């Protein structure tokens, strides 16, 4: 009788294919991608607020320059009660740029809508540079005093 061990088929060993994450190369690629993703997220978390602050600072500086020009144009004309064509053109230009202009006379804003703290500060002869709610919207407010409690 033949030996059965010799005629029995040998089991076929199949090579197991390791998953991508199980190889050294796969792990290195996953770690590298993870580090890159975390770096991008951290950069975005830091850069967005810095960019927003820089944009707000630039808008505030531009508005302050506009307020200085408007005050220079209006300073001597308002105390005489005269709005010259030059002042009218200035008001129209500011409106085209999306800037609302309020005049403070006798402790009242014209048109109404400025916060009382801003009106009182300008009427008292103080320069104002802050964020405040104007007509329900958070806005950058620049105020310049003019002659005799006006602004």
Concatenated DSSP letters of 68-130:
HHHHHHHHHHHTTT---HHHHHHHHHHHHTT----EEETTEEESS-S-HHHHHHHHTT--EEE
User: Which position has the token pair 């053109």?
Assistant: 89
Each residue's pLDDT, cut to its tens digit, for the chain (151 residues) gives 555 556 666 666 565 555 666 788 888 888 999 999 999 999 999 999 999 889 888 888 888 888 888 887 777 666 555 556 666 777 778 888 888 888 888 778 777 788 888 888 888 888 888 888 888 888 888 888 887 777 8
pLDDT tens per residue across span 33-66: 999 999 999 999 999 999 988 988 888 888 888 8
Strands 128-134 and 137-143: antiparallel
Q: Which helix (H) or strand (E) holds 133?
A: strand 128-134
Torsion of CA 32, 33, 36, 38, to 10 degrees: -110
pLDDT at position 139 is 82
Residues forming beta bridges with residue 131, ordered by sequence position: 140
CB 92 within 8 A of CB 56: no
């Amino acid at each position: 009788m033949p030996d059965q061990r010799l005629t029995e088929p040998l089991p076929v060993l199949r090579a197991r294919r390791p998953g991508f994450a199980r190889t050294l190369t796969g792990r290195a690629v996953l770690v590298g991608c993870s580090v890159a993703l975390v770096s991008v997220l951290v950069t975005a978390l830091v850069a967005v607020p810095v960019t927003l602050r820089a944009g707000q600072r630039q808008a505030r500086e531009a508005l302050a320059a506009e307020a200085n020009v408007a005050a220079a144009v209006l300073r001597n004309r308002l105390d005489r009660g005269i709005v010259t064509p030059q002042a009218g053109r200035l008001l129209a230009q500011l409106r085209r740029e999306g800037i609302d202009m309020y005049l403070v006379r006798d402790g009242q804003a014209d048109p109404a809508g400025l916060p009382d703290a801003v009106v009182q500060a300008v009427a008292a002869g103080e320069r104002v540079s802050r964020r405040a709610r104007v007509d329900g919207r958070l806005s950058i407010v620049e105020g310049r005093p003019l002659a005799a409690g006006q602004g």
